[in-house]
Amino acid sequence: MIEVRNLTKKYGDKIGIENVSFTVEKGEILGFLGPNGAGKTTTMRIITGFLAPTSGSAIVSGYDVSENPMEVKRRTGYLPEHPPLYLDMTVSSFLDFVAKIKGVNKKERKRAIEEVIEKCGLVEVRGRLIKNLSKGYRQRVGIAQAIVHNPEVLVLDEPTLGLDPQQIMEIRNFIKNLRGQHTIILSTHILPEVTMVCSRVLIINKGRLVAEDALEDLYKKERERLVLSLRIEGEKVAILNLLKPLKGVQSVESRDGEILVECSKGADPREEIVKVLISSGMKLLEMKENFPTLEEIYIKRISQEG
C-alpha cells in the first residue's frame, strides 16, 4: 500500500532525511517514532504529497507521489500535528467544505459527512463553531477531516498531543477500530500508545532509520540473552538459593513479587528450573519470557546512533 524507496530530503546543506526505505502493508497500523527533528514530519509530508523529495520515491496506493500528487492526495488522509481547522465555521459546514475540496461526489457528500460525524463522536457538537470546542473535540474534527473522503491511507502526526487521559483513551480506541479499514502511519511520542495500537514500528533518528520490525520480533532481537519471570509459592531466600547454582543461570533476583532469572548467553535452563522446583516441593505458578520494553529499545537505538 505504501512503498518508500531511498527517500532523501535536503534543505540546502542540511539533511532532513537520508536514504529512508520501508513499506506499509494494506490495513496495517505502523508506529513511527523518533526524537524531535529526527525526520518524521518530513517523511510524512512527502508521503502525503505536501513536500517534494530531493531524491528517492514514495508510492502510495500504486501512485508515485512526485508524478501523481493529486491522485495520492485523493487516496490519503492527513492529520498534521496542528489540525488545519477553520475556527469560525461550524463542525458540519467545515466537513462539508473539506468533502467538496477532496472531491466527494455531491450525492454521496451528505452521507459521508453524517457517517464521519457519527464515527468521530461529533454528533452533539455538529452545529457549534469550532473555535468554541475543547481541545479534544478539535482533535476529533481534525481526524474527521482526514477520513471524510474515506481514504485508503491515513497519516496521523501526534493525534493525541495535548489531550487529557480520557480523551487520549478515546482517540486511541478510535484509531484501533480503524485497523483493517485504512492503512495507517501513526507518529507519536507516547510509546505505550504504539504498543497498544500498532503491530509494527519504525524508529528514525537524525534522518536515518535505526529500527524497523514487528513489535514482537523487535523485542526478541533486542534481547541479548534469555530472561525469565517466575511466580513461585515459597520462601524467597530459599528459592534464590535453589536457582542460583543451576547450569545456564547467570543471575537470580526477587523483584516486585516475581523471581527474575537472567540466563547465560545461548542457555535455556527452563527444563532444569521446573525439575528442581518440583523435586523441592515448590509450586511454580507461572513462567514467562521477560522482554525489554519499547522504551528501553527506543533509548538504546537512539543512543547508539547519537
3-state DSSP of 148-179: CCCCCEEEEECCCCCCCHHHHHHHHHHHHHCE
Q: In which residue are the cell numbers 487521559 written?
A: 165
Q: How deeply is 187 buried, as exposed, middle or buried, from its count of CB atoms within 10 A (0-12, 13-18, 19+)?
A: buried
Phi, psi (deg, nearest 5) at residue 146? -75, -25
Query: What is the reported pLDDT for 305?
Result: 56
3-state helix, strand, coil in the chain (%, to 5): 40, 30, 30
Q: What confidence tens digit (pLDDT) does each residue in 103-148 have?
A: 899 889 999 999 999 988 899 999 999 999 988 889 889 999 999 9
Over the stretch 231-258, which tens digit does the pLDDT of each residue have?
A: 999 888 999 999 999 999 999 999 888 9
Task: Report the DSSP beta bridge partners of residue 22.
Answer: 4
What letter represents residue 146's amino acid?
A: A
- Is the per-residue pLDDT at 161 higher than 80? no
- Max avg pLDDT among 92-106, 184-198, 292-306: 92-106
Contacts 24+ apart (CB under 8 A), 113-117: 113/148, 116/144, 116/147, 116/148, 117/91, 117/92, 117/144
Lowest average pLDDT, out of 132-146, 181-195, 216-230, goes to 216-230
Average pLDDT of the chain is 91
Q: Which of 145, 136, 87, 89 is nearest to 116 (CA)?
A: 145
pLDDT (0 to 100) of residue 265:
86
Q: Say if CB 277 and CB 242 are below 8 A apart.
A: yes
Chain-centre distance for alpha carbon 196: 8
* 101, pLDDT greater than 80: yes
Segment 1-26 mean pLDDT:
94
Asked if the model's pLDDT at residue 306 lies above 80, the reply is no
Mean pLDDT of 176-200: 88
200 has pLDDT over 70: yes
Residue type, 171: I
